[in-house]
């Protein structure tokens, strides 16, 4: 993408004043008018046979980019968390039978997102939205306040030592009062416990798809350079 971007810019007589790219999503500020913008889009789409871009425009001086809603009040930029119109504020319920760390991860990730993705102008309103959503999902007030205070004052996390990244893991269904005690025992032997959900919809309901007998399955053979690859299609 960087090579493509460089070649597309070097061969264009007009360029955007801002080009911010995350993988294949690009935020662009274009000062040369809509006609030249469409010409620039055609130019970059003709720069590579397999890379084609689509374009979206701002609406009412606002534009969603990834998880951020960017607005232009008084010819400046403001930003806050973006939620789709179909968003329902439904998250893992705080009273659900899950390991506490899994529940805390929902709470902490929402608060972390509100802190990082909203500016000072929108932060108080976004804080109200996050607290209301967490209350709706039965998270205790003291946990919410503790997480907010901790994340507003904490320093960026450091990389884990190599021995922790290669740590042995044990996958256990979470049963309150049982497997959490087993976790404490395993921790003494440098074994990290990862708790899984015991009851899932997929274990209660059969799959709506029919099982295809092996003799009816079609096999496709691909050849990439000198390494053959055989794939299966149901």
Mean pLDDT over 11-18 rounds to: 88
Report the chain's C-alpha Rg in angstroms.
25
Q: Per-residue pLDDT tens for 90-137?
A: 999 999 888 888 899 999 999 999 888 999 989 899 999 999 999 999
- At residue 222, the pLDDT reads 59
Q: Rounded to an integer, what is the distance from CA 84 to the centroid of its chain? A: 14
**Letter string b/e over residues 44-72, b meaning 16 or more CB atoms within 10 A of that residue's CB:** beebeeeeeeeeeeeeeeebebeebbbbe
Closest listed residue to residue 52, CA positions, set 63, 41, 65: 41
Residue 230 confidence class, pLDDT cut points 50, 70, 90: low
| Residue with the two structure tokens 């993705």 | 117
d(CA 115, CA 136): 20
d(CA 120, CA 73): 14
- At residue 131, the pLDDT reads 93
Domains of the chain, by residue range, sit at 2-81, 100-153, 162-200
Asked whether the predicted pLDDT for residue 229 surpasses 70, the reply is: no
Query: 178: which 2 tokens?
Result: 């049982």
Per the CB < 8 A criterion, the answer to whether 185 and 163 are in contact is no
Q: Per-residue pLDDT tens for 170-216?
A: 888 888 888 888 888 988 888 988 888 767 777 777 777 777 676 65
Q: Per-residue pLDDT tens for 137-169?
A: 999 999 999 988 888 777 666 565 555 567 789
Closest listed residue to residue 145, CA positions, set 100, 111, 102: 111
């Amino acid at each position: 993408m960087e090579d493509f971007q460089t070649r597309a810019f070097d061969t264009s007589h007009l360029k955007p004043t801002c080009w911010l790219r995350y993988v294949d999503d690009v935020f662009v500020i274009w000062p040369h008018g809509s006609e030249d913008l469409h010409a620039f889009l055609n130019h970059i789409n003709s720069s590579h046979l397999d890379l084609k871009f689509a374009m979206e425009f701002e609406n009412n001086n606002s534009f969603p980019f990834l998880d951020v809603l960017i607005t232009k009040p008084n010819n400046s930029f403001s930003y806050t968390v973006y939620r789709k119109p179909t968003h329902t504020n439904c998250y893992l319920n705080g009273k659900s039978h899950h390991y506490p760390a899994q529940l805390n991860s929902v709470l902490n990730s929402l608060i972390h997102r509100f802190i990082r993705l909203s500016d000072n102008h929108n932060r108080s309103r976004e804080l109200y939205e996050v607290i209301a959503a967490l209350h709706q999902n039965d998270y205790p007030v003291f946990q919410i306040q503790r997480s907010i205070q901790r994340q507003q004052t904490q320093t960026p996390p450091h990389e884990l030592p190599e021995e922790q990244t290669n740590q042995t893991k044990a996958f256990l269904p979470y049963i309150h009062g049982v497997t959490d005690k087993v976790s404490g025992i395993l921790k003494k032997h440098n074994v990290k416990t990862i708790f899984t959900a015991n009851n899932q919809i997929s274990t209660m309901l059969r799959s709506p798809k029919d099982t295809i007998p092996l003799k009816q399955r079609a096999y496709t053979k691909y050849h990439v350079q000198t390494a053959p690859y055989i794939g299966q299609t149901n």
